[in-house]
């Protein structure tokens, strides 16, 4: 039996991506719960000990930071577990989530550069360099804020001595993980599925595209030739903006400086809506929807603010 066009769209655009997201969240949840059940949080935290100590953060935040170099989902799940168990308060949860943005950026850095380099050639080094510097800038600011707002903590000596390692109860850890996984996964499914579905249909009906296009069209002060880059970057995916920028560069209509500023502007306008569309469903599953909203809003304020600062500096020093 062949699928109708509507059924095919629902399968490829909604059901299959949602199933893959839930599977990824389940794997990340199992990983985070198993690490916590084996008391490996301390060892992971020691990998980021200098930064964690500087920011007066807890071992839970340090472990999450280390894990985020490999999986942002697992890192957020660890933070959620620590928050639910009272190991960290809301302030540290927000700061730790922001702190994890640097390793998350590094996760996407190879993909970002592999897309930008062929399309905008040498300008890719400046654009990627500016966004990377923005990531370091917001991380430094977050460390300063956490240093002055969180109480001083010291990482305790490693509890996993040779004697402790011998007594690790793998079966007990797996049993504890399984019990907590069932409870946590139910909540993840309960929140993620309806929110993901709602956002899918809003996106299908053009709600997000209309908002983003409206924001881009309001930039009347921008060079008209650059509007196309911004609109493509905002209304489609960032690759479309890169392609438009590459075309204008190759024809000589625009210089690298103008193209880089246009891409940064598109980045600032598109990022909040794109983040909400892609991250809010699974954030609402890991955290509660209200807390997920707070985390994403604060994250975007720091991210967009850092990019605007770097764009302003680039504009000033390349005049």
What does the DSSP assignment read for 77-132? HHHHHHHHTTSS-HHHHHHHHHHTHHHHHHHHHHHHHHHHHHHHTTHHHHHHHHHH
Predicted local confidence at residue 238, as pLDDT: 62
| Cα 82 to Cα 261: distance, rounded to the nearest angstrom | 40
Q: Which residues of the chain have pLDDT under 70?
A: 1-7, 28, 32, 35-47, 154-173, 199, 206-241, 251-253
| Cα 73 to Cα 24: distance, rounded to the nearest angstrom | 8
Residue 167 is given by DSSP the state: T
**75 closest CA partner among 53, 95, 97:** 97
Could you give phi then psi for residue 315, rounded to 5 degrees? Answer: -60, -45
Supply the mean pLDDT for the chain: 78
pLDDT, one tens digit per residue, over 41-95 is: 556 666 677 888 888 998 888 888 888 887 788 888 889 988 988 889 999 999 9
User: Residues 209, 299, 313, CA angle at the centre, nearest 5°?
Assistant: 85
Predicted local confidence at residue 88, as pLDDT: 92
| Cα 150 to Cα 249: distance, rounded to the nearest angstrom | 48
Predicted local confidence at residue 291, as pLDDT: 93
What does the DSSP assignment read for 240-309? HHHHHHHHHHHHTSS-HHHHHHHHHHHHHHHHHHHHHHHHHHHHHHHS-HHHHHHHHHHHHHHHHHHHHH
- Residues shown for the chain: 319
């Amino acid at each position: 039996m062949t699928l109708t066009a509507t059924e095919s769209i629902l399968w490829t655009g909604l059901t299959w991506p949602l199933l893959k997201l839930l599977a990824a969240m389940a794997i990340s949840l199992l990983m985070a719960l198993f690490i916590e059940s084996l008391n490996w949080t301390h060892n992971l935290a020691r990998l980021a000990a200098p930064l964690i100590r500087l920011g007066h953060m807890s071992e839970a935040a340090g472990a999450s930071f280390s894990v985020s170099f490999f999986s942002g989902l697992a890192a957020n799940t660890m933070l959620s577990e620590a928050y639910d168990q009272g190991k960290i308060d809301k302030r540290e949860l927000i700061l730790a989530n922001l702190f994890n943005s640097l390793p998350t950026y590094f996760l996407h850095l190879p993909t970002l550069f592999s897309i930008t380099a062929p399309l905008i050639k040498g300008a890719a080094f400046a654009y990627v360099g500016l966004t990377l510097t923005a990531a370091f800038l917001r991380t430094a600011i977050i460390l300063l804020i956490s240093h002055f707002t969180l109480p001083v903590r010291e990482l305790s000596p490693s509890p996993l001595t040779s004697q402790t390692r011998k007594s690790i109860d793998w079966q007990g850890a797996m049993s504890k993980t399984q019990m907590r996984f069932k409870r946590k996964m139910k909540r993840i499914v309960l929140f993620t599925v309806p929110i993901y579905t709602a956002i899918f249909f809003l996106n299908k009906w053009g709600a997000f595209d209309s908002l983003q296009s409206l924001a881009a069209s309001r930039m009347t002060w921008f060079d008209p030739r650059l509007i196309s880059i911004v609109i493509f970057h905002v209304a489609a995916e960032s690759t479309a903006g890169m392609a438009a920028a590459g075309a204008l560069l190759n024809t000589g209509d625009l210089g690298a400086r103008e193209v880089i500023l246009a891409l940064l502007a598109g980045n600032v306008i598109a990022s909040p809506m794109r983040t909400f569309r892609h991250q809010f469903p699974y954030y609402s599953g890991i955290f509660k929807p209200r807390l997920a909203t707070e985390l994403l809003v604060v994250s975007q304020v720091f991210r967009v603010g850092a990019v605007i600062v770097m764009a302003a500096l680039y504009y000033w020093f390349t005049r």
